[in-house]
Structure 1
Amino acid sequence: MAGDEGTEDAPRPFDAKRRKHGNEPPLRESNGYTRHESESRGKSRGQGRSRDRDRDRDRDLPSIDDELPQPFDAKKLESAKKRQRSTSPSEQPRKLKRPGQRARISNNEAAAIRQRHEQRERESAQAATDGTTATAHAGQGGINDIVRQHYNAVPERGRDWRKTGSRIKGLRVFNNWVKSTLIQKFSPDEDHTPGAQQQGRDMAGAQGHELIVLDIGCGKGGDLGKWQQAPQRVQLYVGLDPADVSIDQAKDRYRSMGSQGGRGGGRGGRGGYRGGRQPQQQQQQQHLFDARFFVKDCYGETLDDVDIVRQVGFDPSPMGRSGFDVVSMMFCMHYAFETEEKARMMLQNVSSALKKGGRFIGCIPNSDVISNRVTKFSERTAEKKEDLVEEGEQPSEDKEEGEAEETAEWGNGLYRVRFPGKTPEDGIFRPPFGWKYNFFLDEAVEEVPEYVVPWEAFRAIAEDYNLELQYHQSFKDIWESEKDDHILGPLSERMGVRGRGRGPLLVSPEEMEVANFYVAFCFYKV
């Protein structure tokens, strides 16, 4: 055994009583040596050595008691002496070495640094123009503030201008039609009876259930009218957005809807959402749902601290029976993919807010389109380098001062996508978070940073939160599959997407290219 071996190997104290003739080592003399050893050593010593030196040596030898192991005493330990570090003479400075390739900043990193510096200068200039004090934003707050400031600054031009004066009016109505399609197809419960809304009553089940909707990133309330026309009646609508100006505009839009036709402020009257069934006569008289609006960051914070959300039900477990029927996230989820923490917080909020069987619908940038564009850019870059080699020139990674690194960029006269840094040559974004690009859309978005949402990664993470995919289509494919639907087809004519009588598509090729930059989805909570 290991313990026994340690005991046998330990030194034993000297015991004179245990000595036996012939079995113990020979006795040593006072000088520590046996008589035979002393005689041998004496013969070998030179005549030049003095007897005094021999006596001094013998006196310094340890005794038998000194050789015995002594008990450990921490008090006798001496503290380590601090080593004095010599300073280099000032007149002899260290010779600087040129950093190796691994230590140098790459061209992409240098370009990214320059762009971040320019971005900070633009933010400071904007803050000075507004008469505010520039504040340094760190961590997750930086991008959130940029996006919030942008959408707060977008002017409200009115419906008439959007229908007549806008250069992207075809794109606007087409995107709105796609969102209406999602609401028409996936907002109703599975047992909802089609046509009940038009009949002035809801026949969705024995309980007469009405929808409770959570709209994350509701913006200015542009989808309020779409929910008013939902096939299953909406009882409560909760709109959340980080931009406070947008929330104020959404409240104004809701009040305007309530004042039209003298229908009051909402389905619940002044009492608001009651969480229960109302008398049928009252339901038929009040046509506008109850709505609540809050300024909220739904990606960096939990929704558990929003009172109305907690009242409806906020349960992360898959067996939760209470909660919202639908969570909608239109054209905003890509901001959550700045970091994995934000993406998971977003999905945690969605899943916890949904009841079992609830639907999660939304629109995001099409990662397949982005990957194809990035791959083509990498191929063109490689071809340029090959052409230089064939012409006898050596491709150089060094750039002149002020010359920016060429990065993936594409668009047309209406929109532009530009990556500030290096992109993967194969178009596969690994890891799936933090791949920033700048997006510009005429009349709508001014170079706002957005993030790639790699579809398969998003789908896999959603499964971790009990969200199962039911639908995934590009905007172009949605149009091809739904344009002749008996409900969605006529709706496209009324909204101005196509001419009357199944007329031609009223969306220009440039606008359609922008629209195809997006996909729509629907998940069910299982």
Structure 2
Amino acid sequence: MDVLLRKDGGEEEEEEEEGPSPGGGRRGQKAQMKRRHEEEEEEEECAKKKLVIDHSVKVASHYNSLQEVGLAARSRSRIFFMRNFNNWMKSVLIGEILEQVRAGGCRRVSVLDLGCGKGGDLLKWRRGGIDHLVCADIAGVSVEQCQSRYEEMKRKSHINEKIFKAQFITADCTKEVLSEKLEDAELQFDVCSCQFVYHYSFESEQKADMMLRNACERLKPGGFFIGTTPDAFELVKRLEASDSLSFGNEVFKVSFGSKGDYPLFGCQYHFSLEDVVDVPEFLVYFPLLEHMAKNYNMRLVLRQRFSEFFEEKVKKEHHRSLMMKMTALEPFPLEDGDGQTTGSSGEYRHAKEHCARAGVRPPVGTLSRSEWEAASIYLVFVFQKIS
């Protein structure tokens, strides 16, 4: 039997020619052409949908494939102190927001962790004494690990210690309505936390809006939507200052496809950070996010670059104490004579110059130049639901 090659290289049986129709051969040819045209349109539509799906799948696959490592392995990482610093920033933000919630008279606190990952913030919610937590993420393996951490935390807790109840949901929060997946259909939240995640949703207006809906529609009046995300203005500024389509250093790299044209949605760049991230992301044009949030009765309370937030919060003694406990900064110079995290002297020139100033008593806490360049692309945000 004769065969025809598909465009994709496969094979299909040749269609039999249609016999004469009551209206003649042309009608049969037209019907066949129409059918083929419909098939081509269907294939094109499927291809478009596949492009949309692929990005979500790529993000989920990346985070699912990240291996859980112990403290010893993390301490050897080139970005050990930066990761601790980012964790401290989140701890301060979450702690202060929970204080505000309780100051408003709330006794039982419910939280949505949108993009929970492997559960890196579980201990923060435990320290905050919340009552109910819902964890949601697109990466199913991560959600399973998050739930395992929670179960282990409960198992190791003191007899008289009350651990919050929790629900774990695997879902693409840019496409699916989370409220339909809640065990308690009437549940409302005092806080929604979205840490280093929201930028994935700015692939399209539909995805960004769905993410925002999931973050805000179940918040109580006065409730907070908090998070951290790359600062689009800072990213574009560094790109425009670069001689190429990328910028970065030995620990991180940001690459764009072009310069000069930055659409409001779908402005993609590739971000890689040593041992942690290696996926496409999208610029979050913050004035647009603020405008979209108004549709969910949200008002912007705080928007600060990491540098600004750090400089303000480090003035408080209890925040400095937490920073020491979390090893959020690297001591410079090291007292035992060992080398710093990186052997490059230029990485700590700023710390050396600071130590040389009158009245400064070494060692001082710092991040290497490369780590700070990576950490300082982020901003902190807080929205509140209008009563």
TM bracket, shorter-chain basis: 0.7 to 0.9
**How far 1:304 sits from its partner (Å)?**
2.6
Q: Does 1:167 align with 2:78?
A: yes
* Secondary structure of the structure 1 residue equivalent to 2:365: coil
Equivalent of residue 158 in structure 1, options 70, 74, 91: 70
Alignment of 1:100-499 (within 5 A): 138-162=50-74, 164-190=75-101, 192=103, 205=105, 209-230=107-128, 233-263=129-159, 285-308=160-183, 310-312=185-187, 323-377=188-242, 380=243, 408-419=245-256, 421-424=257-260, 429-430=262-263, 432-446=264-278, 448-498=279-329
TM-superposition CA deviations, 1:442-485 (whole Å, max 9, x none): 11112x11000011111111122211111111111111111121
Tell whether the 8 Å contact from 2:231 to 2:377 is kept in structure 1 after alignment. Answer: yes
CA distance in 2, matches of 1:160, 1:502: 27
Query: Structure 1 residues 260 and 305, CA, compared in 2 at 3 Å: closer, same or farther?
Result: same
State, as a whole percentage, how many aligned pairs show the same letter.
34
CA contact (8 A) 1:303 1:309 kept: no
Encode CA deviations 1:388-433: one digit per residue, 9 max, x unaligned. xxxxxxxxxxxxxxxxxxx5200000000001x22326xxx33x10
Structure 2: how far apart are the matches of 1:372 and 1:149?
30
Q: Which runs of 5+ in 2 are unaligned?
A: 1-23, 27-46, 332-360
Residue 361 of structure 1 aligns with an amino acid whose one-letter code is I
Query: For residues 196-254 of structure 1, what are the alpha-carbon distances to aligned partners after superposition, in whole Å with 9 as ceiling and x for unaligned?
Result: xxxxxxxx73xx61210000100000000111112xx2000110001110011101111
Which is greater in Rg?
1
Partner of 1:525: 385
How far residue 187 of structure 1 moved from its aligned partner, in angstroms, is: 2.5
Instruction: Report the secondary structure of 1:213's partner residue.
Output: strand
Distance 1:335 1:478 in 2: 23
CA distance in 2, matches of 1:209, 1:255: 24
State the 1:499 CA deviation. Answer: 6.8
Q: How far apart are the structure 1 equivalents of 2:385 and 2:167?
A: 24
TM-score by length of 2: 0.76
Letter in 2 for 1:473: Q
How many residues align? The count is 314
Alpha-carbon displacement from aligned partner over 1:343-391 (angstroms, at most 9, x marks no partner): 11111222212111100000000112112123324xx5xxxxxxxxxxx
Greater percentage in strand: 2
Q: Structure 1 residues 466 and 356 mapped into 2: Cα distance closer, same or farther (>3 Å)?
A: same
CA distance in 1, matches of 2:146, 2:229: 22
Q: What's the RMSD between the two structures over aligned residues?
A: 2.4
Partner-residue secondary structure (3-state), 1:345: helix
In 2 relative to 1, CA 146–307 (structure 1 residues): closer, same or farther, beyond 3 Å?
same
Q: CA deviation at 1:160?
A: 3.1
More RCO (CA 8 Å, sep 6+)? 2
- Secondary structure (helix, strand or coil) at the match of 1:238 reads strand
CA deviations 1:244-296 (Å, max 9, x no partner) are 10011101111121122454xxxxxxxxxxxxxxxxxxxxx333211111101
Match of 2:8 in 1: none
Q: Distance in 2 between matches of 1:251 and 1:330?
A: 18
Work out the CA distance in 1 between the residues paired with 2:64 and 2:268: 21
